[in-house]
Amino acid sequence: MSDRKKIRLGMIGGGLSSFIGIVHRIATYIGEEYTLVGGAFDTNYDNALTFANKLELDPSRTYPNIDTFIEKELELPEDQRIEAVVVVTPNFLHYPMAKQLIQAGFHVICEKPVTNTAAEAIELEELVEKHQVVFMLTHTYTGYPMVRQMKSMIADGVIGDIQKVDAQYYQGWINPVIHDKEKRKGVWRLDPEKAGQSCCMGDIGVHAFNMIEYTTGLKTMKVLADLNTLYDDNPLDIDGTSLLRFENDVRGIVRASQIATAEENSLRISVYGTKGALKWEQEDPNYLYHLQDGEPVHVLKPGHVYASKLAEESTKMAPGHPEGIFDSMANLYIGAAKAIRGEAHMDGAYPTIRDGVRGMKFIEAVLASDSNGNTWTEIED
């Protein structure tokens, strides 16, 4: 009988009022690699205790803040203390909390954006290396089996040399509030002190950017961006387009909007090569479309014998059973668990701090391009 134990997990934020917290918890349950032990779930300690009671967690492992969490957990024997910590707080807290946890020796799973600036992301990358911890950034969409199939097929040369990449992420959730001055003042994602430098590109445009670099393996060298705040008193972008130039002079585009009226979560990516193309849509994630000149469109689905090794490892259901956002997030957690345990894992098993650095450099380059009159701006390596 194996003595292999689940990874002891903590959570900062993610309590009663959190939307994304439950996504993380369900994802950890799916993989059966973690057990939630405790955390600092809410800035209101009574709410945190109520939440812990609801989940039947030990109240002594429910803390009023991150400082107490770290202090008390480090007092415990190593075989009892929490090993990995999920940070699911508003954007402006990601960097300071992740930094504290890394320096204390915890593995970290962090919501994006990883930090408010590229310099902060680089600092975290250096700390991750120094303290030899695992850092996972939740670019959740990279966990879908058919996204991983796409990555494998491109790497295997199925569509030939890449010529064009087109990624879109359209939402409409801000549209009902943006046109009312008082309402938009109450949206934290439009507050630079809480959301950071960017709203649209920082929240969803970076997902499209990450999907491009993840699936294609290309590195973005330059961007030319045009952003829109819609109103002069709105400080952050809510719509934008960025042209991309990759290595080998390949061209691409990222289109992102939060005022695409009535759109829900329309993330799409199309990659066109010399021998064919691949297309995938997040709202219909079980289908990957393979296009070739003079041939019928081929439709690939999870769980079949033609799946790549990476896609096969990411599929938990028999063919015909839809897998969704919880399964996708779970695949990231499974990949991170292997890294935490020191086990072998495939390239692309989970997003790392390097993806966070690349994302922040993309956001800053896009903002600089727009503010400098829509000029080509380099993304430094």
The whole-angstrom separation of Cα 18 and Cα 75 is 29
Closest CA to 347 of 201, 196, 151, 186: 151
Model confidence pLDDT, tens digit, residues 155-213: 999 999 999 999 999 999 999 999 999 999 999 999 999 899 999 999 999 999 999 99
* Number of residues in the chain: 381
Note the pLDDT of residue 17.
85
Q: What percent of the chain has pLDDT over 70?
A: 99
Asked whether 96 and 323 are in contact (CB, 8 A), the reply is no
The residues facing 7 across adjacent strands are: 34
Strand order in 239-246's β-sheet? 298-300, 288-291, 277-281, 266-273, 162-170, 251-257, 239-246, 220-228, 377-378
Q: Max alpha carbon distance in the chain (Å)? A: 66
Q: How confident is the model at residue 301 (pLDDT cuts 50, 70, 90)?
A: very high
Domain boundaries, the chain: 7-140, 145-308+352-371
Give the helix/strand (H/E) hosting 333.
Answer: helix 325-340
What's the average model confidence in pLDDT over 341-345? 96
Closest CA to 204 of 165, 251, 172: 172
- Helices 206-216 and 145-155, interaxial angle, to 10°? 50
Sign (positive or negative) of CA dihedral 281, 165, 189, 30: positive
Virtual torsion, Cα 162, 299, 323, 336, nearest 10 deg: -30
The CATH superfamily assigned to 7-140 is NAD(P)-binding Rossmann-like Domain (3.40.50.720)
pLDDT at 2 over 70: no
In a 3-state reduction of DSSP, which class is residue 305?
coil
Note the pLDDT of residue 1.
40
For domain 145-308+352-371, which architecture applies? 2-Layer Sandwich (3.30)
What's the average model confidence in pLDDT over 208-219? 98
Model confidence pLDDT, tens digit, residues 50-98: 999 999 999 999 999 999 999 999 999 999 999 999 999 988 999 999 9
Note the pLDDT of residue 329.
96
Mean pLDDT of the chain: 96
Task: Write phi, then psi, for 169 (nearest 5 degrees).
Answer: -135, 105
3-class SS string, 114-180: CCCCHHHHHHHHHHHHHHCCCEEECCHHHHCHHHHHHHHHHHCCCCCCEEEEEEEEECCCCHHHHCC
Question: DSSP assignment of 60-87, as one string?
Answer: GGB-SSHHHHHHHHHHS-TTTS--EEEE
Provide the 10 A C-beta neighbour count for residue 32: 11
Asked whether 366 and 198 are in contact (CB, 8 A), the reply is yes
Token pair in block for residue 78 = 């190593």
- DSSP symbol at 193: H
